[in-house]
Chain A
């Protein structure tokens, strides 16, 4: 959807034009050229329907917007042979209905757009109830979410607001595991994803749609008598390509992807990460979350975590991932250690839904906090009599004993908590709060430690990520030692993505 939207944007980005009909046509043309994936193709049809409605109009009015919505949704539903509810289609339809309902008494376009976005959000939240595969995976429909982002972006732009993304959409309380969610629609497997453009003089889109639909599934055929975009999932990619050639069309932008292999690779990769459940831990077991092979090994080998779920900063594990690990362990008493504020909720839901086990959550929000609590765990577990409550108390008791500093790159210009940041700059966080930005990583690290009060600490540990080398990390430690001479430094390989350094101050 992103790529579709990008092509649409590029088509109008350089256009010196305020005629809404012409702008809309250009947008639709760009979207159709760049459309990818189911949702992307449907989006291109939404723009195509809009362009049809606005054709010849220089300015947008409330009744015109209502017409555009209606034709956009018609086009979207026509794009697919068998419309499925609980997808971008449902979301777009309910957005349209909100406009149709209000346009009689409301003529302010911004107010109408606001109604559209709110209606869309409500529809999106409801998608898991309409589409079982979403409910199983514990997510909302991604195409619908994308559509809302696009319209919310328009609304924000009109209101002069920053384009900040709200990342709290993926919440569900009834998730099953990722394996269940990934079972292919077709019993022969995932097959191939085939996409191409057909160019010709007198193409019959209805016939093409019917014929392509007979070849496979997830079919999308859109366009006009000169240009048709085809998207289909088939077992033999030769079928739709040969068909299009035989119609006399010239083909363009052909993309064939082996989805079965993608699926198998994904499963294999994910299972490699998931398989290390330690069965040798007696008594209370800990399931934690970390990204990076170094950090995972640290938790599992030295700190005796029974299982380390891969994730955290880039990919938040689901309730299902936690439940999976809980069920895989023979232990009855289990502690979940999320190490990230965005993972705590999923952990709590897993704890509440675990059957026949005592599961508790320690609300650790950073990796160093997680490590500090694990030292308490290791010490208590080596004693003979130790209850789950005692261990939870001891672990919770040290959450405040460590200060976490993190360094990463800003992905865009922004201002947070009074700190100005340009895209590409290094930013420093103390206990998850943005504190410092700068171009020199050494300076950012030094300022960060200074602000964190590291001079009063005893030990400073640098966990370097996949974006930093051991030599770089050692050099950084050597430089920092000049300012923090009384502290003990330790450089440890973390392997985490995105954050070159996670620094713990104890």
Chain B
């Protein structure tokens, strides 16, 4: 079997750090953030995440996020495909976003036997790790089927947990049914959320952010030993450092810090923190 040149396309919600995007020649389709009557591509140019989170608390009405137009997805896919034998497209969970569908449309004019389209069932680095590890396997094997198999294993071995800084943001986002339902509760809660099977679930309800972080650490320890780990933050870099300290003994050497995408960040608020671990078990 011939070694194939395999390229990857994902969306900006994958939160893959810039240097890794370059290293693996990954094509990124930006999602869009809408506020103040305009729409901004989450591409590091139209929208700078750091500035955005610093302003988030004062943006009214509340920002919304949306999938990119199919034309833009098609353009990125075609550019990436140009010098490749095969293209693997991994997207944010189809249950969370319209991006999967946009990508499917964007890739519809390509020869379908040279396209692999995968719903990551996740977002942020839960998606990002699937792309990065997929790219690593592609560079070693040149085999689309081995790549797809590896991505599906990583998909099963990754988790995304986040502690919400303020519920206000999750409520306003309007995306999460249980979050809207919890608006009516007598006592405020600060849920710990998990992105699982393409949906955002509340997995613990606590009263304080400090307690939420304790739960986050406990959950992460429960899935160790880890192959990869990303610490997710919106604007609280200090909190992210502290969180990584708590996990130092189980964190793999290539642990990275990631500024989380506006779709998630707008949900969990500027002070929210999260983790995206991949269990070592994906290799077996």
Residues in A lying within 8 Å of B, measured CB to CB: 294, 297-298, 301-302, 371-372, 375, 378-379, 382, 401, 458-459, 461, 488, 490, 492-493, 506
- Out of A297, A372, A378, A459, which one reaches B186, CB within 8 Å? A297
| Known contacts A297-B186, A458-B210, A459-B208, then 13 further A-B pairs from the complex at CB < 8 Å, ordered by chain A residue | A301-B186, A302-B185, A302-B187, A372-B207, A375-B205, A378-B205, A379-B206, A458-B209, A461-B187, A488-B188, A490-B187, A490-B188, A506-B207
Q: Is the CB of A375 within 8 A of B206?
A: yes
CA distance A382 to B205 in the complex (A): 10
Q: Residue B72 at the A interface, CB < 8 A?
A: no
Q: Residue B204 at the A interface, CB < 8 A?
A: yes
Q: Is the CB of A492 within 8 A of B205?
A: no
Residues in B lying within 8 Å of A, measured CB to CB: 185-189, 203-211
B208 to chain A: closest residue by CB: A458
Q: Is the CB of B208 within 8 A of A298?
A: no
Residues of chain B within 8 A (CB-CB) of A488 are 188
Residues of chain B within 8 A (CB-CB) of A294 are 186
Q: Is the CB of B207 within 8 A of A492?
A: no
Residues of chain A within 8 A (CB-CB) of B185 are 302
CA distance A379 to B203 in the complex (A): 7
Residue in B187, B203, B204, B211 whose Cβ sees the most chain A Cβ within 10 Å: B187
Residues of chain A within 8 A (CB-CB) of B207 are 372, 375, 459, 506
Q: List 19 A-B contacts (CB under 8 A).
A: A297-B186, A301-B186, A302-B185, A302-B186, A302-B187, A372-B207, A375-B207, A378-B205, A379-B204, A379-B205, A401-B211, A458-B208, A458-B209, A458-B210, A490-B187, A492-B186, A492-B187, A506-B208, A506-B211
Residues of chain B within 8 A (CB-CB) of A490 are 187-188
A488 to chain B: closest residue by CB: B188
Residues of chain B within 8 A (CB-CB) of A378 are 205
Q: Is the CB of B187 within 8 A of A298?
A: yes
Residues of chain B within 8 A (CB-CB) of A297 are 186
Residues of chain B within 8 A (CB-CB) of A458 are 208-210
CA distance A488 to B203 in the complex (A): 23
Residues of chain A within 8 A (CB-CB) of B210 are 458
CA distance A401 to B215 in the complex (A): 14
Closest 6 CB pairs of A and B: A458-B208, A379-B204, A298-B186, A506-B208, A302-B185, A302-B186
A461 to chain B: closest residue by CB: B187
- Expressed in whole angstroms, the minimum distance between the Cβ of B197 and any Cβ of chain A is 16
Residues of chain B within 8 A (CB-CB) of A371 are 187
CA distance A371 to B187 in the complex (A): 10
B191 to chain A: closest residue by CB: A379
CA distance A458 to B209 in the complex (A): 8
A457 to chain B: closest residue by CB: B208
- Expressed in whole angstroms, the minimum distance between the Cβ of A88 and any Cβ of chain B is 46
CA distance A492 to B189 in the complex (A): 13
B206 to chain A: closest residue by CB: A375
- Expressed in whole angstroms, the minimum distance between the Cβ of B172 and any Cβ of chain A is 17
- Expressed in whole angstroms, the minimum distance between the Cβ of A141 and any Cβ of chain B is 42
A458 to chain B: closest residue by CB: B208
Residues of chain A within 8 A (CB-CB) of B186 are 294, 297-298, 301-302, 492-493
CA distance A493 to B208 in the complex (A): 20
Residue in B188, B208, B210 whose Cβ sees the most chain A Cβ within 10 Å: B208
CA distance A366 to B222 in the complex (A): 33
B207 to chain A: closest residue by CB: A506
CA distance A358 to B283 in the complex (A): 44
CA distance A64 to B223 in the complex (A): 84
A303 to chain B: closest residue by CB: B187
Residues of chain B within 8 A (CB-CB) of A298 are 186-187
